[in-house]
A and B are shown apart, each in its own frame.
Chain A
Amino acid sequence: MVDKTNINKVGLKCSYKDLTLGMMVYGEKTSEAFKTGEWTSVQPVVDEEKCINCLMCVPVCPDSCITVVDGKRSPFDYDHCKGCGICVKNCPPKAISMKGVK
């Protein structure tokens, strides 16, 4: 039995029998645990050689998937990236490209 009050456990591998009643989301502050990244079919990938750490991609991401850690751009949070491509358009040296998710 899947613990349906744990949003992390209710995912793409679940049988229809293990989804919550009426797709209700149980518990509070679930937006971080709720892996909306599984909705996308494409993901941005950074060419680390080309990245100049200008941080232009950080503020434009609508899902706060790119943060600044110790003055450096963090790895992308694919658990929440929706693949919108805004970061790709906003990267001055064109270091980010979109890859299809297998």
Chain B
Amino acid sequence: MARKDRLSGNEAVAEALRQINPDVMAAFPITPSTEIPQYFSKYVAQGKVDSEFIPVESEHSAMSAVIGSQAAGARSVTATSSAGMALMWEELYLAASNRLPCCLTLVNRALSGPININCDHSDSMGARDAGWIQIYAENNQEVYDNLCMAYPIAEHKDVQLPIMICQDGFITSHAVENIILNEDEEVKNFVGEYNPEHCLLDPECPTAVGPYSVTNYYFEAKRAQAEALKNAKQVTLDVAKEYAKITGREYGLFEEYMMEDAEYAVVIIGSAAGTTKEAVDRLRKEGVKAGLIKIRLFRPFPGEEIAEALKNVKAVALMDRTESYNDCCGPLGAEVSTALYRANAKALAVNYVYGLGGRDVKVSDMVNIYNELQKIAEEGKVEEFYRYYGVRS
């Protein structure tokens, strides 16, 4: 039986972690994810979980400890944001190349500088090619559900890769919302036990983790890693299907909102999707065929599926909550444009940078974006592909 509650995004993550009861959490506090290890360490102190809590001296150490404990055979987790993730950089790649299915609950925050503690996606987008699975959430319910599904995806034998469960800093992490929680037993059974085939603490088969790979092997190792990440797409769908059986809540690679007959679409990640849905509803009342695609799985990227979902659209806005400093396109802009090009799609695409450093995104802003899309469709051309929304000119 499900339980109804009111939780912030960080509380929802801590609650999911209590239910998952991982073997190890190693973490260092950083705004706005500090509450996650804070709440979790309380559960450890209260004996509500069996987990070992490692209070490390930096995020570099946090990810190192997670890699070490995961390699030892312990299901491990950490939490961080922004500069904390930047300090984990080297280890992010190691967790992936060592094929360790650990979990990072990320609360998205702008990278410095200028220093800023509010939401954008520059931290996780910078790490998008580190080899991790990345799943994003629109609200508290989704981040809770995504975390409940994290280990079954990451630990699947065809995958065995680390997973990043992302939510928007403050907007999701600190806003209290209604939420439906699973029973402890349901989560415990769904996640199951972590039994890796090989691990450091296996006396029957001692194992060397992370050995040097000469040129003769490095490329093959990377190729195998890429294949595993590719497999994560189907596994994400399979796990979501199983999850829906116990919760009734259904998840895909992305969410399509009013896309059936949409002529103008927005592709967006995170909490601003909720705002965009409201804009879509308002425009629909006026007879504008607006629709939305909300990315859930960003790595691996479901390019073909998104191109298919956009095949009848006249104009589409690809919304990046990060700046790429390349004068060409943002990460989402690049992935979706590539997918559209490969599919010979006729949709006119435009790529917006928006909401940096916590810049508010209102319903009226998203209505403006749809109005711009209608103009683009009418004119039949896109003057400027890579552009900015909501910045003083």
Residues on A facing B (Cβ under 8 Å): 5, 12, 14-17, 19, 21-28, 30, 38-39
Given contacts A19-B221, A22-B99, is CB(A27)–CB(B205) below 8 Å?
yes
Residues in A with CB closer than 8 Å to B224 are 16-17, 19
A–B pairs, 10, beta carbons within 8 Å: A14-B220, A16-B220, A16-B221, A21-B160, A22-B99, A24-B99, A24-B207, A24-B211, A26-B207, A27-B206
Q: Give the distance in Å from the alpha carbon of A26 to the alpha carbon of B160 in the complex.
A: 17
Residues in B with CB closer than 8 Å to A25 are 207-208, 211
Q: Is B209 an interface residue (CB 8 A)?
A: yes
B97 partner, pick from A22, A27, A38, beta carbons under 8 A? A22
Beta-carbon contact of A39 and B211 below 8 Å: no
Mark B10-33 against chain A: 1 for CB-CB distance below 8 A, else 0.
000000000000000000000000
Given contacts A16-B223, A19-B224, is CB(A39)–CB(B216) below 8 Å?
yes
Residues in A with CB closer than 8 Å to B214 are 39
- The smallest C-beta distance from A23 to any residue of chain B, in angstroms, reads 5
Least CB separation from A38: chain B residue: B216
Mark B195-223 against chain A: 1 for CB-CB distance below 8 A, else 0.
00110000001111111011011011101
15 A-B pairs besides A22-B221, A27-B207, A39-B214 with CB distance below 8 A are: A14-B220, A16-B219, A19-B217, A19-B220, A21-B197, A22-B97, A22-B98, A22-B99, A22-B209, A23-B217, A24-B207, A24-B210, A27-B205, A38-B216, A39-B216
Q: Considering the complex, which residues of chain B in the window 82-98 have a beta carbon less than 8 Å from any beta carbon of chain A?
A: 97-98
Beta-carbon contact of B211 and A23 below 8 Å: yes
Chain B residues within 8 Å of chain A by Cβ, number: 24
Least CB separation from B202: chain A residue: A26
Q: Is B227 an interface residue (CB 8 A)?
A: yes
Count CB-based A-B contacts (< 8 Å). 57
| Interface of B (DSSP majority class) | loop
Q: Is B373 an interface residue (CB 8 A)?
A: no
Residues in B with CB closer than 8 Å to A30 are 208
Least CB separation from A4: chain B residue: B198
B99 partner, pick from A14, A15, A21, beta carbons under 8 A? A21
Given contacts A22-B100, A38-B216, is CB(A16)–CB(B227) below 8 Å?
yes
Q: Considering the complex, which residues of chain B in the window 156-172 have a beta carbon less than 8 Å from any beta carbon of chain A?
A: 160
B210 partner, pick from A12, A15, A22, A27, beta carbons under 8 A? A22
Residues in A with CB closer than 8 Å to B98 are 22, 24
Residues in B with CB closer than 8 Å to A21 are 99, 160, 197-198
Q: Give the distance in Å from the alpha carbon of A39 to the alpha carbon of B216 in the complex.
A: 7
- The smallest C-beta distance from B159 to any residue of chain A, in angstroms, reads 11
Q: Which of A19, A22, A23, A27 has the most CB of B within 10 A?
A: A22
- What 4 pairs between A and B have smallest CB-CB spacing? A22-B99, A16-B220, A25-B208, A16-B223
Beta-carbon contact of A23 and B207 below 8 Å: no
B206 partner, pick from A12, A28, A39, beta carbons under 8 A? A28
